[in-house]
């Protein structure tokens, strides 16, 4: 019985920590590095005939060169809405519409902007580390609860806490590695 509770806690903890890593990857894709990447536009919603619709469902997004994103809408009637939504976003991009496609030139990053982006990446990484630590805290609390209920011996609880800490350390290390890789990508001139 005790092994089942321990495995359940460990699997739920690992799943929660994996979710934090997945969210980190998604958040880091949205950080502009000076190169054109259609993932920058993830999360942009367009008012399409009264319905808020994700941009990637309304148009084909491509990056034909490192400094340009081209948006080819499936319906040319959506061009104005796409342009307005990008201008209204906090990305700091200036789209241009030629009646067929929307072009977004990606300006080179200044040294000051690079430093701001590195700080932002560190903050995002720290937020996701908190998610991992929250999962650890919940797991340890669950193990202690199982022990107090008599379902888990003290030795198994300690072993489980060590396994939870090992999972935590591994996931925090992965978060640090991903953040460091993104920082290097931003700082490359």
DSSP-assigned beta bridge partners for residue 68: 65, 105
> Quick one: pLDDT band at residue 152, thresholds 50, 70, 90?
confident
Mean pLDDT over each residue of the chain, to the nearest integer: 87
Does residue 94 surpass a pLDDT of 60? yes
SS3 30: coil
Could you tell me if 69 and 63 are in contact, meaning their C-beta atoms sit under 8 angstroms apart? yes
Would you state the pLDDT for residue 27? Answer: 84
Select 2-30+110-187's CATH number: 3.40.50.1950, 3.90.550.10, 1.10.132.20, 3.40.630.30: 1.10.132.20
Determine the Cα–Cα distance for residues 42 and 152; give it in Å rounded to an integer. 45
Mean pLDDT on 45-50: 87
pTM value surpassing 0.85: no
Confidence of residue 136 (pLDDT cuts 50, 70, 90): very high
Q: Rounded mean pLDDT of 159-179?
A: 94
Listing DSSP states for 128-178 in one string gives HHHHHHHHHHHHHHHHHHHHHTTSS-HHHHHHHHHHHHHHHHHHHHHHHHH
Beta strand 45-48 pairing with 51-54: antiparallel
Residues facing 65 on adjacent strands: 68
Question: 3-state DSSP helix/strand/coil percent for the chain, to nearest 5?
Answer: 65, 15, 20
H or E element: which one contains 16? Answer: helix 2-29
If one compares 29 and 127, the residue with the highest pLDDT of the two is 127
Architecture of the 38-105 domain: 2-Layer Sandwich (3.30)
Asked if pLDDT for residue 1 goes beyond 60, the answer is no
pLDDT at 113: 78
- Residue 189 pLDDT level (bands cut at 50, 70, 90): low
Domains 2-30+110-187 and 38-105 are alike in CATH topology: no
d(CA 144, CA 148): 6
Predicted local distance difference test score (pLDDT) of residue 41: 82
Domain ranges of the chain: 2-30+110-187, 38-105
- Beta bridge mates, 72: 60
pLDDT at 182 over 70: yes
pLDDT of residue 17: 92
In this prediction, what percent of the chain has a pLDDT beyond 70? 96
Average pLDDT over residues 131-139: 94
Asked which of 29-33, 103-107, 136-140, 172-176 is least confident by mean pLDDT, the reply is 29-33
């Amino acid at each position: 019985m005790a092994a089942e509770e321990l495995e359940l806690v460990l699997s739920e903890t690992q799943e929660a920590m994996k979710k934090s890593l997945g969210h980190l990857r998604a958040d880091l894709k949205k950080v502009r590095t000076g190169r054109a990447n259609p993932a920058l536009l993830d999360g942009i919603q367009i008012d399409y005939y009264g319905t808020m619709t994700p941009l990637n469902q309304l148009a084909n997004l491509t990056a034909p060169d490192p400094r340009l994103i081209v948006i080819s809408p499936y319906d040319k009637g959506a061009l104005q809405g796409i342009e307005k939504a990008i201008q209204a976003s906090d990305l700091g991009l200036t789209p241009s519409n030629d009646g067929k496609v929307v072009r977004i030139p990606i300006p080179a990053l200044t040294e000051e902007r690079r430093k701001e982006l590195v700080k932002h990446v560190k903050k995002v990484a720290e937020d996701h580390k908190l998610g991992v630590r929250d999962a650890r805290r919940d797991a340890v609390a669950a193990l202690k609860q199982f022990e107090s209920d008599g379902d888990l011996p003290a030795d198994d609880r300690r072993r489980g806490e060590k396994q939870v800490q090992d999972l935590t350390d591994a996931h925090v290390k992965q978060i640090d590695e991903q953040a460091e890789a993104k920082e290097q990508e931003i700082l490359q001139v």
